[in-house]
Amino acid sequence: YLSGFGNEFASEDPRCPGSLPEGQNNPQVCPYGLYAEQLSGSAFTCPRATNKRSWLYRILPSVRHKPFTPVNCGYLSENWNEVEPDPNQGLHTICGAGDSKSRSGIAIHVYTCNTSMTDRCFQNSDGDFLIVPQKGEILITTEFGKMMVEPNEICVIQQGMRFSVDVFGETRGYLLEVYGAHFELPDLGPIGANGLANPRDFQTPVAWYEDRTVATGYTVINKYQGKLFSSQQDFSPFNVVAWHGNYTPYKYNLENFMVINCVAYDHADPSIFTVLTAKSTRPGVAIADFVIFPPRWGVADHTFRPPYYHRNCMSEFMGLIKGHYEAKEEGFQPGGGSLHSIMTPHGPDFDCFEKNSKAELKPERVAEGTMAFMFESSFSMAVTKWGLETCQRLDKSYYKCWEPLKSHFNPNWRPSSK
């Protein structure tokens, strides 16, 4: 892998040394007789700091394929109140908001898969995918090379990048899709130059190619304007011998996150656990933040240490990769999810509140063996029919975890004299 986030990378398959052109991007004749193809992740005229593009040097260009034709979308949806769909699909949309046509929005999916993609690849023309495996490792082959992604790692496949997935048994995970923005590292402000997800810990694949003819046809699935289309070609799209640029897929191991936490009093806001953000046009407001709750020390004095009770102007989708989430240790299972919609009250359940209101406040490890995460968004997300009804997994008794909460109000309490 190549180390760094958003860097200008360059990579050649070692089987073809010198395959990157020297001193220019598209020479009249490329080394080894390759085709030059640019993949743009931003408008040509974006400021240099946000301009994203890569040059790919491939055996055959992407244009060589048959026309795209519609295919069944299954449970993949951008219609937040859709009719009953056909179940033959590995992606299931839980919730979302906005619209891929206007390039403004978000969707949250779960995936289940036990079969590798043979002579098939996927391309998302609508936006970026942030993939969070929860069960089973996945080998992702991209036009830039290969990435092995395991639970407790994440990867990002940016808009327009073709990829195929190999699995080695039952796999399951979460997928965050954003339209109209790319993920970036959050600003650190007074934290300083180091901390949270450090750029050096992100990994980009190195060039790898296959020169393979597929006489029976290779299928390219394209997600476009919320629908799926397929086209046929007679060769593998993973024929990029060399590439350079700053628009790439990448992965990150969540164990490398450098946790910032309170060392005096009070429970800090969860924004200190932000790994990646997709910014909106409003300063400080995200289309989506990817936030994790990793193992860490809890040392705050005079403090209720678990998450506080909260009503938020943002939507919060929680997921669990492994372990037990500290604010709801029972009933929230790995692979499950919860959506706390905008301004919907949420917080610790009864057992958590009672236990931690009386706990001895000594230094302790928090969330040991656990990795929970949150997709937080400024969009007001609606839940699909699959999420509400079809999946038959909706916990209609979720609210009962707060029912036992009782009043501790004592009108006779008085401050102690100092």
Q: Is 340 a catalytic residue?
A: yes
* Backbone φ/ψ region at 69: left (φ over 0), alpha (ψ -120 to 50), beta: beta
- 148 C-beta neighbours (distance < 10 Å), count: 14
Beta pairing class for 120-124 and 213-224: parallel
Catalytic residue selected from 78, 92, 340, 376:
340
With contact defined as beta carbons under 8 Å apart, do 36 and 47 qualify? no
277-285: Cβ within 8 A, 24+ apart: 277/183, 277/184, 277/185, 277/186, 278/128, 278/178, 278/181, 278/182, 278/183, 278/184, 279/181, 279/184, 280/181, 280/378, 282/378, 285/378
With contact defined as beta carbons under 8 Å apart, do 53 and 39 qualify? yes
Catalytic residue selected from 316, 324, 326, 376:
316
* Size of the chain in residues: 418
Catalytic residue selected from 37, 326, 346, 376:
346
* Furthest-apart CA atoms within the chain: distance in Å: 87
Kindly give, in sequence order, each residue whose CB lies less than 8 Å from that of residue 212, ignoring residues fewer than 6 positions away: 235, 236, 239
Catalytic residue selected from 82, 137, 184, 310:
310
Q: Is 316 a catalytic residue?
A: yes
Q: Is 182 a catalytic residue?
A: no
Catalytic residue selected from 82, 137, 267, 329:
267
Q: Is 346 a catalytic residue?
A: yes
Q: Is 267 a catalytic residue?
A: yes
Q: Mind telling me the catalytic residues?
A: 267, 310, 316, 340, 346
